Amino acid sequence: MADTLTSAAAPGTETAAYAARIDHVSKAFGRPGAQQLVLDDIALDVRPGEFVCLLGASGCGKSTLLNLVAGLDEPSAGTIATPGGRPALMFQEHALFPWLTAGRNIELALRLRGVPREERRTEAERLLELVRLGGAHRKRVHELSGGMRQRVALARALAQDSQLLLMDEPFAALDAITRDVLHDELTRIWSETSLSVLFVTHNVREAVRLAQRVVLLSSRPGRINREWAIDIPQPRRIEDAAVADLSVEITEELRGEIRRHGQH
C-alpha cells in the first residue's frame, strides 16, 4: 500500500462539518512483502462537539488509530483531516514531568503553544480550577494521587487549546471509585466546552457511560464492525439500568468478535 500523509487543514473562518475525518484509512506494519495489516479501510467522522468512544478487544488497532489521528504516525492508505489543527492527546499514563510542579507541567504546554510568559501562571491556575484542582499549582507530582495526576494531565491536554481531544484509555489504571469520579469530571468539562472527544477504551460500560456514539472495531485487522448512538441522557451513572442494558448488548457483540478471531 502506498504511504499517504496524515492531513490537518488550518483553521478557517467557517465551522467545519467535522472535527476529524478518517477517510478510508489502512495501516500496515513490517517490511514490504511481510507486512501485517492492523487497520483496514476505516472511515469515520467525529462531528464538532461530539464524544465518540472507540471500543474493541486488545490488539484491534484502537491505539494505532488514535496515534494516526494525533499525527504520531502516518497511514499506509487513506487520509486523516483535523480542520481545527493538531489534536491534543492524553495517554493512559499521566506522563507528567516529576521535577516540575503541577502548575509548571501545564505552563510548559502553554509555553510550547506560544502563550506569553506573563499569562501562563493565570491560565494554568484557571485550568487547574477547571479540573477541580484549585490550589495545587505548587504541588509536586509525587504529592498527587493517581486521580489527581490524571486531572493535571487532562488540564495539560486542555492547555493545548485544541478543538479535538484524543484520550487513550486514560482511566484504565485507576481504581473503580476514582475512575467513576473522573468520568463525572470529564463529562462536566466536555459539556462546558466545545471540545470534540475521541476516546479509546476496552471497557464497555465506560464507553456507554461517556459517549454519544460507540464504535466497535473488529480484530485482525481492525475494521468498523458496528456503531451505536447513545441517547441516554447525561449525566449517566455506570450502574444505571439503561447503561447496563446497552452494555450487555455491546458486550455480546464484542464477545462474538473475539470468538470469530479466536482470541482468549
Express each pLDDT in 92-140 by its tens digit: 777 899 999 999 999 999 999 999 999 999 999 999 999 999 989 999 9
- Those residues with Cβ within 8 angstroms of residue 96's Cβ, 6 or more apart along the chain or in another chain: 102, 105, 141, 149, 152, 153, 156
Given a contact cutoff of 8 angstroms between Cβ atoms, the answer to whether 212 and 241 are in contact is no
What is the spatial distance between Cα 214 and Cα 206, in angstroms, rounded to a whole number? 10
Instruction: Give pTM, 2 decimals.
Output: 0.89
State the pairing for strand pair 20-29/36-46.
Answer: antiparallel
DSSP label at 130? H
Query: Angle 54-57-63 (CA atoms, 0-180°, nearest 5)?
Result: 50
Domains of the chain listed by start with CATH number: 48-74+164-264 (3.40.50.300), 96-161 (no CATH)
Given a contact cutoff of 8 angstroms between Cβ atoms, the answer to whether 66 and 198 are in contact is yes
Of 127, 182, 189, the closest CA to residue 159 belongs to: 127
What is the spatial distance between Cα 4 and Cα 78, in angstroms, rounded to a whole number? 6
| Per-residue model confidence as pLDDT tens digits over 5-64 | 444 444 443 567 999 999 999 999 987 777 889 999 999 999 999 999 999 888 889 999
Given a contact cutoff of 8 angstroms between Cβ atoms, the answer to whether 221 and 37 are in contact is yes
